[in-house]
Every structure is written in C-alpha cells, then in structure tokens.
Structure 1
Amino acid sequence: MRATLLFYNGPVLTGNGDANALAVANSTILAVGQADDLLDLAGPQTKVVDLGGRALLPGFNDAHIHLWKVAMLLRQVDVRPAAAPSIEAIVQAYATRAAGTPPGAWIEGRGFQESLLAERRSPTRYDLDRAAPDHPAFVTRTCGHIIVANSRALAAAGITRETPDPPGGEIDRDEHGEPTGILRERAMTLIRQVAPPPPQPLLQGALVEAAEQQLRLGITSVCDPGVDEYVLDAYLALERARALPIRVDLMALRFTPDGRRAELPTPFARDRLKLDTVKFFADGGLSGATAALSLPYRNQPAGSYGILYHEPEAFAEEVWRVHEAGLRVATHAIGDRTIEMVLDAYEAASSTEPGPPVKPLSPAGDRRHRIEHFGLPTTAHIVRAARLGVVVVPQPVFIHSLGRSFLTSLPETMLPQLYPLRALLDAGCTVALSSDAPVVPDNNPLLGLRAAADRTSADGVPISPQQAVSVTEALPLFSRGGALAEGQADRKGSLTPGQLADLCILSADPRAVPIEQLAELRVEITVLGGRIVYAA
C-alpha cells in the first residue's frame, strides 16, 4: 500500500523507541520507523513533508475542556484579567456592550478572578447596575462556580432577601440581609432558569470557531464535560453537516444548569462525535473556596468548608442508576470530602448486582468511571482510585493560572496533596491531563506540560514541587491519556500503525528544550484523519 502522506527527518515521539519517519494511508497510520525504510512507501500522489528536525507527536487530547463555553466567550463580554484587570474595567466593558444591546435584553460575560482585580474584591450587583441599569446582566467568575447578577437579573429570577439558599447553593447577603448579587454553586440555577440560551446559529458558529482554535494548538480531540439537550442539539447539527472541525467526546449533564434533572442519554459513537457518559457536579472550585474540604479555608469567613452538592446516599443512588443503564459516570470532585463520597458511590456501584461492573483498564474500550479534577486527594484516595480502575482527570495548568488563589485560601497542610501528579503516577492511576478552559485563559497543552513539570504559579512561586513529573511522563497523558479516558485508546492517542492519523508537528522536540521554554514552542502543522487541517 502506498502512503498518502509521509513525514521524515525529525523525531517521531512514539514512546517506544526512536523513529524519524511516519507514513499515513488515507485516515490512519500506515507505518512508523526509519526514513530509509518508509520513503519507499511514497508514490506519485504522496504528499511528503520534510520535518527538518521538528517533532511529530500524536494530536493533543484535552480531556476536560468546556468547548461550548469557550465558544460562547467569543461572543460574550470577556472580563478575563487581560481584558478587564479591575472592577472599573468590568463596568466599562458591560457599559459598552449595553450601549449596543436593546434595553431589556440579557447581557452575559465571564472571566473575573477577584484575587487578580485591582480592587481585590468581587464585583457585586451594584457594580453591574452602574454598567447596565436597563438590562438584566450577570458575569460568571473564571471558575464557573459563582455568578454575580445585577438588580434587573435578580428581579427577573425572583431573588429577594426572603429567598432561601437552595440545597447545594448559597446567596451572599450584606449586613442588612439583602442579596449582594453573588450566587454560589446551585444558587446559580435561579438565574439560569430565566436567562435565555443563545440562538442555535450563534452557538453553532461559535463552536466551529472555538474548535478551529484548538487545531491551531495541535489539539485534535477534546472532551466537553457537561452539555444539556440544547448544546447537544448544536453539536449534532454540526456533526450531521460534517462541519465539526475536531473530535469531541461529550458528557450529558444529569442536572442541567437551570436545575432540571435530565433524562439519561442514548449513547452513540460517530467519527467525530461520541456520547456515553453522564456528568455530575459534586462540589465547587478551589479558587472560589467552594470545593468541599475537611479543613476550613483560610482568608474566608469563619467555618468555610465549601459546598457539597449532594447527600452521600442520594448521590450513590444517582450513580447506581447511570451505572445500571450501562453508561459511564464522570463526577466533578475537587475537595477531599467530595472525593471520599464519590469513591464510595463508585465502589458501591461496581460491587452491586445487577449491572455491568466497573472494570479495571485492560483492553481498550472497557467502561470505567471518571473523577474530574481530583484536586485534593489523600494518599488513601489515590490508592483506592487505582484499585477501582477509576480514571482521574486533573489540570496541572491550574498550578500556573490559579496558584495565587490556592496559596491564599487553602489550608497550608493541604498544599502537598494539591493536584498530586507524581503520587498519581506512582500509584498506577490512569491519568488524563486537561485544561478545564475557560476556567483558565490559555488552554495551550504546552503550558499544561510546563505546569506539570515545574509546578510554579504564574508569579513564580513553587507549589508542592515534589509532585512534579517529567515532560516525557506528561506528554502521553495529553494524548493517549485522553483516549483512555474516553475508552478509545484502541482507535487514537498514539503513533501506532492502524490508529487514526491525528497528529501535530512542533517546532522542536518538547523533551529537549528547557522546561521554562515549553510554552514558546510553536504548533506548525495539525493533521486530523490523515488530512492537514492547520499549517502555520
């Protein structure tokens, strides 16, 4: 068989020895080896690419990125630190958007992080009232677990001083008992119930644009971990139109952003779109001090331990229902209290009949449950996750992007167990690395690699450096790791003959550059299914 695409004269990162050439036949990898052997596979129609010393890798797989939220941020008010470094800048950004928006129409934005704002506080309803007095408006914190709504939005949602905190949520109030506009965790559903969704054409167009951004980062596959029926319809429409630029693994939300309990989905697997997993949220985030801990947060109101979304018995029952239906379970669990509850539920589901068991990883495609983030596990949790075959999906880039918040708010005794990659690998856990964008402003996998290897915050402070891993160890966790997490490692994620030819070419070998220069490498070519879909 002749190759349709052939690369030579550069390191080919197979993870299993040296190679300097790779041949593709149509959509799959034909052969990997030495150029002297593989160049004979070229024919008159073969596109031959001289790597010139550049590195050829599997396409990156971001195993946890809210792609549809990344997409919508392209259309919403962007108040991430680079765009809005102060509350006054947030007010100005909303005022500018309000000036071009019909009165009464909703305005939404995302991205603030109070520790990085000049005022070192969160915005409130009154700040957004100044910006958009004639519009219901709200802004989501970078973590996605806190909303700030203005007075028009609070009124639309019926939130007053008499409104009780919903289970699993909190409404912040001032000294007079009035809502400040800050809504935490499930209290956000009160706004989501009344805020309209984006029009389908806008959502679909933004999804395509966001997916094309991923190709420029060398990302060929993503997992979008939490979609409701409306977002699923957008993905399905793109897939039917053959307009989806990358491969997407979807998770269906069991509880939707507006608080509804969704029906269990019908699983499916197509070339670029797959769904066989149900997503739960079990707690909040660390940077916003809503992840459920066994110790109180520092620099927070006394007795702040975070928020658990579910009672353990009710959560275990929910997990069992999904497990019994033959679907995979993925749970957002960051705090140590939450991780304990989730492991209890997974172990109970895997040991109860009827229902297929949760199998440890052996042949690719085994159905295994996942824990998203796994932010503060104890040693016992790590050992238990490995024994149960649970896939863990942490985000080392958090150390870089959110490190200042962690150092400010976490109990000091917990810092050694913060996103403990070294301990996870040493225990034999199956790990898939990811970004959780738009929680972080930059989902470049090379920045994630750097964070995994140097464990340093953006302002240069080391955080638990004993949990660092090498670049060589981290690289496959951004490709094969994601494929394992999806149950698709027999199809993609490594440079092996017969696998999908999803590839990327970097300007240099990431194993050979100083760690601090990793994020400076350039993605020069991205290949999806044997076709060059991006070239710098």
Structure 2
Amino acid sequence: PNLSMFKMEIKADLLLLNGIVMTVDREFNVVEAVAVKYGKIIATGTTSEIEGLKGKETEVIDLEGRPVLPGLIDSHLHVVGTGLLLSQINCRTPPMASISDICAAVKEEADKAEPGDWILGRGWDQVKLSDHRNPTRWDLDKVSPENPVWLTRTCGHIGVCNSLALEIGGVSKDTPQPVGGNIEKDEGGEPTGLLEEGPAMILVRRHIPPTSFEDTVKAIKLASKAFSEAGLTGVVDAGIDSTTMRAYQRAADEGGLSVRVNMMLHGKIGDETPDESVNRINDFPITTGYGNDLLRFLGLKLLIDGGIGGRTALLREPYEDQEDNRGILVMPVEDLQRRVDAGNLAGMNIGIHCAGGGAMDVVLNAFEQTNKKRPVKGRRYSIIHAYQPTEENFETCRRLGIVVASQPSFLYYLGDSYHENVGDERSKWLKPHRAWIDNGIKVAAGTDSPVTPYLPFPSLWASIARKTEVLGTQMGTEQRVTREEAIRMYTIKGAYYTFEEGTKGSIEPGKLADMIVIDRDILTCKEDEIKDTVVLRTILGGKTVYEA
C-alpha cells in the first residue's frame, strides 16, 4: 500500500508487527502487520511499511511470528444462560461419567442449601453417560428429598426434576399433556420427572425464583469476560426480554461489556398467547439496526422444535427404533405465522430455531407467506440450526436471501447422540455446511452456548473435521469445509448476518480494530490441533481486553 500520506499526517495508536495476519478479506490475503487509530484499522501490510506509522505515543506489539485473526463472532448463543451456568452444577460428560456422578453433585449442593432452595444444573447427555439413559425423579429423590431439583439437558429442550419439584409444579399422573410438549410417564402413568420442550418444562420452571436484575447484569459481565478470554469479540444473543436488554445497558455503562452484542427479542415468553406476543412485538419501541457498535438490536427470535439429541427435533421421518416419534412441533403453525407476520410488519429481522427437516419446512413456508405481506429479500432472515435441508429448501433460501446460523460444535459435542438417534446414513447430512455454501447460501457459525461450550476453536474445527467427541464417529466427510471457509463462517459471515460486514469481520482499513492473537497457524497446523488453539490476546476496538 502507498503509505506516504499516512506517514506525513498520522501516527497510529497501536501497531501489530512481525506476525501472520489473516485479513479474511475477499482474497484471504495474509500480511505481516496492522496499524490502528481511534479504534479502527488504518493500514495493513509488511512490517517495514507499517512501522512508518509509529509515533512517540504508539503502542507496539511485536507478534514474533504469531498469527492474528479478526475477532471471532458467535452467531447464536445465550449470554445470560452462559453466565448463570458458571454458578450451577456442570452435568456435562466429562466431568460426569454416570448418573451417580450427577447425583453426587446434586447431593453436595443440597447439603449446603437451606431446605426449599432450588438446586440447578445443566449439561447431561444420556448417550455419553455409562448408564445410557436419562436421569429420573427417583434418582434425584435419593439425594435431595428436601430441595427441589431442576437439571436441564445439554440441548436445553428437556429437563428432569425430582418429586418435590413435580409437586410444586402440580404435575401428576392426572396432568394432561400440554400442546407442544410432553410429560414423560412410565407404564403405570406416573411422571418420571422428565419434561420435554417448553410447554411441559414451564410447568415446573415457572416456580424457580427468577434471576434478579442485578444477577442478570453480573451474568452478562461474567460471560463477557469469558468470551474475551476465548477470542470472541461479537455475539448474537438469541431470545431475550426487554429487562435483559436494560441489563446489557447497565453492564455496558459500568464497563463490564467487552464483546459486541446483537440482541434478539423473544418471540414468545413463557406461556404467552399469540395475541399477547403480537401485542408485545407491536409495542416494542425499536427495530433492526438500532444501537451502536457495542450494543445493537438485531430482531426477533422464535423456536418451533427441539433437538435431535433428545429426540424432540421435528423430523420428516421417524427416529431410529421409534416408528411413532418424529419429534415435537412446539408451536402451532398458525401461531407461528402470526408472530412472524408481526415481526415482519414491525420491520424486524427474524431468526427461527428449526432443527429437524420437518421444522425447516414449516419455517420456510412461514417466510414464504410473510413475504407476501412485506418482502423478506435482503433482510437476512435466518434459519437457526437447520440440520436437514432439501433441494427445495436450498431454492427457497437462495430466493429469499435466507442466512443459516449453524453450530458446528453440535457435531462434536452432541454428535454421538445424533448418530444413535437418526442412524449412520442420515447423520452424514446433519448440518451440511458444504452443501449450504455450494448452493450460494451464507452460513454463520456459533455454539448456542450453554447448549455446547462457547469456545470457538473446537466449533471451527468441527466444521472441518466433522468428528464426534466420545466415539470419534465421522459425521459425513463430504460435508467438510476448508480451513478458510471455516474461518469465514466465524468472522465475515457472522458480520454479514448482522448487517455489519462493512465494519467488522475482517482486518481491513476502515473497519473496527477487533483482532485476536493465537498460538498456532490454523491454516497449516495438523487438523486435529486446530481445536486446541489458545488465545493469547483479544483486542476490541484497538484496546486489549484480554491477555494470557
């Protein structure tokens, strides 16, 4: 670049020199150095070129050959849930190898708690447990008879509770099945403690004391710090209420927000009726794009099915060994359409959780219908998760400009249960990133934390390797993406999803100086080493917000 004018007139606030800087520009150019002024990138090039922008007050970081990436963007997660999980029982495998391990952790918490206090945890996956089954009320009753217990499965679509919690929720053998949910019952009709999907889970969850405003602010700050340490500089928080948005403002005002956030409003809160949802959406005071570089409003988030790991995602065909189970549609089609139309007419971007193929068909039809009321093309509506597309789905997405918000981490952390639940052949087509990209559809990556850990490099690696965590099962080699494509999914495609590709997502002059320094070159290292990448420094707007 011609830097003679810069050298005469301007000196940088920050220089990064002697590195392997992956710009993620259109050509995926790799340079040695970057210059930053007023929080934005002003030049990239060789170290000798960029050194000319050094002034008396310039901070200089000698990268000593280390790689630099644009700050990573998680296109779909839950910030408060991630922050709160840090203070709940971690039921994941590892560390939990069995139901008895989970119960021991519950007992430890119950022994410290006052009678009546709720014991909360999250993260189990029955396929990874040595018992190879879900926990039940009877497991939990043995270790917590005086404290209600609520544990959420890793997917977030199934919960298990003890008998005391069922009693508090008024759930018995006589409780009718809620529309869009399922109360699992044994052969005698007794509830097992397992509640599937929101309409069933809310029967008990509504009795858990709500998180206070101050604790919500604290959770946001905790999660923000954790994200910075992991190399995330941007996230989409999918599905929050207006009070949480106010908590974000408080966290930002107090200097506790070190990650850029795009907020999405819940399309349905609790057991809200369609009329109540529509009125709330209509009364919401802002629409897509409102905010600043740190905190913005993206749009409306809806959910219509569950997950494949818990066999609640709505498939087009039955689950393995369950001819009568194709999953759950958690919201009637007509209710979904009313909420989609309300968001559309209010000018909102809309993203909808649709894991199974049957759910994808429902959602894309809803987008087709609302498109007749107000055009969708160019407004970057999204399908979230999107495991099982058809050629017809590809065509609809191309025509309407739909973006896919996908979580490659599911293939790694949840893939073993997926493989068991839909079989070898169908599992090869779950999250087919290669096919999405080849069909000209933008794919943004993420983790859906706390469903899977927010760490971006295992997720980025999973889109390349497509292997499961426990058994190392290959989940469709033909759907692998290249390393450059995987990086783009976590950077510029995430920025595109939120209409910010002009300001972030790559290291180019004029863009926000969001960058991370890492310990290995993920373009050339051994493939399986990508997931173990360590973040050494995270820079947000030219300021270091984390240093190892």
TM range (shorter): over 0.9
- Give the AA of the match of 1:13: M
- Establish whether residue 149 from structure 1 lines up as the match of residue 161 from structure 2: yes
Aligned counterpart, 1:205: 218
Task: Give me the whole-angstrom Cα distance separating, in 1, the residues matched to 2:240 and 2:533.
Answer: 32
- Give the AA of the match of 1:394: S
- Whether contact under 8 Å (2:39, 2:512) holds in the other structure is yes
CA distance 1:233–1:136, change in 2 (3 Å)? farther
CA distance 1:18–1:271, change in 2 (3 Å)? closer
Aligned counterpart, 1:270: 292
Aligned counterpart, 1:4: 13
- Give the AA of the match of 2:215: L
Greater Cα offset, 444-453 or 54-63: 444-453
Mapping for residues 44-55 of structure 1, pairs under 5 Å: 44-55=56-67
Aligned counterpart, 2:329: 308
Mapping for residues 85-164 of structure 1, pairs under 5 Å: 85-164=97-176
Name which of 499, 503, 518 aligns with 1:491: 503
Task: Give me the whole-angstrom Cα distance separating, in 2, the residues matched to 1:447 and 1:255.
Answer: 31
Aligned counterpart, 2:358: 337
- Residue 287 of structure 1: CA displacement? 0.7
Mapping for residues 342-353 of structure 1, pairs under 5 Å: 342-352=363-373
- Residue 257 of structure 1: CA displacement? 4.0
Task: Give me the whole-angstrom Cα distance separating, in 2, the residues matched to 1:485 and 1:368.
Answer: 6
**SS of corresponding position for 2:120:** strand
Aligned counterpart, 2:253: 240
- Residue 465 of structure 1: CA displacement? 0.6
Per-residue CA shift, 1:74-133, capped at 9, x if unaligned? 111221112322111111111111111111122211111111112111111111111211
- Establish whether residue 448 from structure 1 lines up as the match of residue 469 from structure 2: no
Per-residue CA shift, 1:145-191, capped at 9, x if unaligned? 00101111111111111111111100000111111110000211112
Task: Give me the whole-angstrom Cα distance separating, in 2, the residues matched to 1:245 and 1:14.
Answer: 22
Q: TM-score of the superposition, structure 1-length normalised?
A: 0.95
**SS of corresponding position for 1:277:** strand
CA distance 1:178–1:229, change in 2 (3 Å)? farther
Aligned counterpart, 2:5: none
Aligned counterpart, 1:380: 392
Aligned counterpart, 2:3: none
Task: Give me the whole-angstrom Cα distance separating, in 2, the residues matched to 1:491 and 1:302.
Answer: 50
- Residue 258 of structure 1: CA displacement? 5.4
**SS of corresponding position for 2:58:** strand
CA distance 1:131–1:198, change in 2 (3 Å)? farther
Per-residue CA shift, 1:432-464, capped at 9, x if unaligned? 011112112x33221112111111112222111
Per-residue CA shift, 1:15-64, capped at 9, x if unaligned? 33232111000211111122222111110111111111111110000111
Task: Give me the whole-angstrom Cα distance separating, in 2, the residues matched to 1:302 and 1:114.
Answer: 20
- Whether contact under 8 Å (1:378, 1:417) holds in the other structure is no
- Give the AA of the match of 2:148: P
- Residue 521 of structure 1: CA displacement? 2.3
Task: Give me the whole-angstrom Cα distance separating, in 2, the residues matched to 1:174 and 1:205.
Answer: 40
C-alpha RMSD of matched pairs (Å): 1.5
- Give the AA of the match of 1:453: I
Greater Cα offset, 287-296 or 84-93: 84-93
- Whether contact under 8 Å (1:386, 1:430) holds in the other structure is no
Greater Cα offset, 235-244 or 370-379: 235-244
- Residue 193 of structure 1: CA displacement? 1.8
Task: Give me the whole-angstrom Cα distance separating, in 2, the residues matched to 1:194 and 1:278.
Answer: 26
Mapping for residues 313-324 of structure 1, pairs under 5 Å: 313-324=334-345
Aligned counterpart, 2:408: 396
Mapping for residues 163-312 of structure 1, pairs under 5 Å: 163-185=175-197, 186-257=199-270, 259=272, 261-262=276-277, 263-264=280-281, 265-267=284-286, 268-299=290-321, 301-312=322-333
- Residue 413 of structure 1: CA displacement? 4.2
Task: Give me the whole-angstrom Cα distance separating, in 2, the residues matched to 1:257 and 1:485.
Answer: 27
Task: Give me the whole-angstrom Cα distance separating, in 2, the residues matched to 1:513 and 1:524.
Answer: 17
**SS of corresponding position for 2:445:** coil
- Residue 417 of structure 1: CA displacement? 2.0
Task: Give me the whole-angstrom Cα distance separating, in 2, the residues matched to 1:182 and 1:106.
Answer: 17
Name which of 24, 28, 36 aligns with 2:48: 36
Task: Give me the whole-angstrom Cα distance separating, in 1, the residues matched to 2:212 and 2:333.
Answer: 37
Q: Which runs of 4+ in 1 moved over 6 A?
A: none
- Whether contact under 8 Å (1:504, 1:523) holds in the other structure is yes
- Whether contact under 8 Å (2:377, 2:399) holds in the other structure is no
Task: Give me the whole-angstrom Cα distance separating, in 1, the residues matched to 2:296 and 2:120.
Answer: 29
- Give the AA of the match of 1:2: K
- Give the AA of the match of 1:266: P
Per-residue CA shift, 1:356-407, capped at 9, x if unaligned? x2233xxxxxx32111111111232123212210110111111111111111
**SS of corresponding position for 1:42:** coil
Task: Give me the whole-angstrom Cα distance separating, in 2, the residues matched to 1:491 and 1:502.
Answer: 10
- Residue 204 of structure 1: CA displacement? 2.1
Greater Cα offset, 170-179 or 376-385: 376-385
- Establish whether residue 13 from structure 1 lines up as the match of residue 31 from structure 2: no
- Residue 275 of structure 1: CA displacement? 1.7
- Residue 230 of structure 1: CA displacement? 4.0
- Whether contact under 8 Å (1:59, 1:527) holds in the other structure is yes
Q: TM-score of the superposition, structure 2-length normalised?
A: 0.93
- Give the AA of the match of 2:121: G
Aligned counterpart, 2:6: none
Greater Cα offset, 413-422 or 499-508: 413-422
Give the number of equivalent residue pairs: 525
- Residue 508 of structure 1: CA displacement? 2.3
Aligned counterpart, 1:364: none
CA distance 1:412–1:82, change in 2 (3 Å)? closer
Structure 2: unaligned runs, 5 residues or longer = 1-9
Task: Give me the whole-angstrom Cα distance separating, in 2, the residues matched to 1:415 and 1:347.
Answer: 28
- Whether contact under 8 Å (1:435, 1:448) holds in the other structure is yes
Name which of 519, 525, 528 aligns with 1:507: 519
**SS of corresponding position for 2:30:** coil
- Residue 520 of structure 1: CA displacement? 2.4
**SS of corresponding position for 2:83:** helix
